[in-house]
């Protein structure tokens, strides 16, 4: 029965990727998954095994796949299992959707800083953002 679940997951994963406009190939899955997942990146061999129905990802990785491909978690697993995954999984935050592993790692580092250093980092980022916006506005005025 477990093999049936793995095969069902693999079929649904391939369908979801194609529906979303991606080729259901390990190299595509590895690249796209790793740019979105907050955690240890998957290897090409690991995602290949997902596509072949040899293994299934854990709850956090299933959640990443569902968010990326914009499908209900239940599409990948049985409805009862999907509800259980939602109940036990980490909270979903819109602010980190679409961030790559490097950016998420940076946020983790930032959150571990003492408050005074966080304020300093925030001020530096805001100053850079304001300078960028000002430059964009000047370019827009000049070009348009």
Tens-place pLDDT, residues 11-37:
999 999 999 999 999 999 999 998 888
Confidence label for 76 from pLDDT (cuts 50, 70 and 90)? confident
78-96: per-residue pLDDT in tens?
A: 644 444 444 444 444 445 5
Strands (E), 52-132: none
**Structure confidence at residue 105 (pLDDT):** 75
**Structure confidence at residue 88 (pLDDT):** 44
Confidence label for 2 from pLDDT (cuts 50, 70 and 90)? low
Mean pLDDT of the residues in the chain:
81
Sign of the Cα torsion 33, 34, 39, 44 reads: positive
Cα radius of gyration (the chain):
20
What is the rounded CA–CA span in Å between residue 53 and residue 47? 10
Rounded to 5 degrees, what are φ and ψ at 18? -65, -40
Contact 27, 45 (CB under 8 A): no
Reported as half-sphere exposure (CB side, CA atoms, 13 A), residue 116 has a value of: 0
This model's pTM is above 0.75: no
**Structure confidence at residue 102 (pLDDT):** 72
**Structure confidence at residue 38 (pLDDT):** 80
**Structure confidence at residue 117 (pLDDT):** 85
Contact 44, 27 (CB under 8 A): yes
Which among 35, 7, 98 is positioned nearest to 15, based on CA atoms? 7
């Amino acid at each position: 029965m477990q093999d049936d679940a793995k095969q069902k997951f693999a079929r649904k994963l391939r369908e979801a990727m194609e529906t979303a406009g991606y080729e259901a190939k390990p190299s595509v899955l590895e690249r796209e998954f790793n740019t979105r997942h907050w955690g240890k990146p998957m290897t090409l061999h690991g995602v290949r095994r997902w596509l072949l129905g040899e293994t299934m990802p854990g709850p956090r990785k299933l959640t990443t796949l569902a968010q990326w491909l914009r499908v209900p978690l239940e599409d990948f697993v049985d409805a009862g299992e999907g509800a259980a995954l939602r109940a036990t999984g980490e909270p979903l935050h819109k602010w980190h959707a679409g961030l790559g592993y490097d950016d998420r790692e940076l946020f983790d580092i930032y959150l571990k800083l003492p408050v005074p250093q966080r304020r300093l980092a925030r001020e530096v980022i805001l100053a850079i953002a304001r300078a960028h916006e000002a430059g964009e506005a000047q370019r827009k005025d000049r070009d348009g």
